[in-house]
Amino acid sequence: MLNKKKVCVALSGGVDSSVAAMILQDEGFDCIGITMDIGDCENLQKGISTIEGAKRIADKLGIPHYVVDVRKYFEDKVIKYFVNEYLRGYTPNPCVVCNYYLKFGVLLDKAIELGADYIATGHYAKLCYSDEYKRFIIKKAADKAKDQTYFLYKMSQYQIAHTLMPLGGYTKKEVQRIAIERGLFEKPKAESQEICFIPDGDYRKFLKHYLKNMPDSRGDFVDLNGKVIGKHLGIQYYTIGQRRGLGVALGKRVYVVDIVPESNTVVLGHKEALLKRELISIKNNFILFEKLKESIRVEAKIRYNAKLAKATIKPKSDDEVHVIFDEPQNAITPGQSVVFYKDDMLLGGGVILRAV
């Protein structure tokens, strides 16, 4: 019987993963708690508290708890990726990378090693098998405001088949209520909206510390005509659409509209210059099929908190997809993920290479 199988629940000590473990335990799964030790790098203050919080939940649920040392993987796959993308003039998406390589990579491997059939997380998404597509698929969560499918587009068929996400049918308020009623927490626990290794949200401070021994990387701010209008501190400290903290006074509002690593320049312009209808994505992965072979209509978003917008996607090359939106999108940002949907199903996604 399915509900007698063993599952490793990725516990963070937070409400979502804790309730996910309790729901699976109620359903009859043989649960094991498992927590990543991502270390205590500069600006990261939550490593030990996360492990202690997860252990507390495991004890309350009466389940075994293991800590998996992923510090090297986290440094190599997440931190270095994060820094190197900014150095290239891109704006990275570390949660997508962490999910793929660590939560559904290293942790899933550890779960299988411990004899489990699945890894489970507190993500708000629905995983199931589709008879229509003859594939494992990912659907949007019941709580559309909390839906986290955007961060899951890189998942492989193997990863989806061996993953459970029991919160997909719940709202965040319902999960918080369950956590309190069942005695896991005394009151709703505040959630961090920041990157886990930058809890204060100041990624520029993090980069300055990490790159403290790097040679001077200052260069020119230029306008849309290429005229030099100021000096920037290094392309890694800017992102498309940025208005604040530029350090230039031009008597009008200007925004970062392009970053050109080849010339070490940051292009500033008016807000309308940020509106683009087309982009090219790379490193694409599709859930509903193996490969995009023809043009199809989708809904897409260019960042997690963006609204879904109607678009057409078509193959451009073996590794590139051409995305054409019906309406211009604001601040299409290289390095961020563009994610595609068909109705309530996650179709796939890729990394934005450039706006066209």
Q: Which of 8, 31, 95, 196 is catalytic?
A: 196
Catalytic residue selected from 8, 41, 98, 128:
98
DSSP H or E stretch at residue 222: strand 219-222
Taking alpha carbons only, the member of 48, 111, 36, 104 closest to residue 75 is 36
193-216: string of b/e by CB count within 10 Å (b at 16+)? eebbbbeeeebeebbeebbeeeee
CA 238/CA 41 separation, integer angstroms: 23
CA distance 138 to 155: 9
Q: Which residues contact 54 (CB under 8 A, 6 or more apart)?
A: 11, 12, 13, 17, 33, 35, 65
Q: Which CA distances in Å does 111 have to 64, 119, 175, 246?
A: 13, 6, 25, 46
Is 98 one of the catalytic residues?
A: yes
Say whether 95 is catalytic: no
Annotated catalytic sites, by residue?
Answer: 98, 196
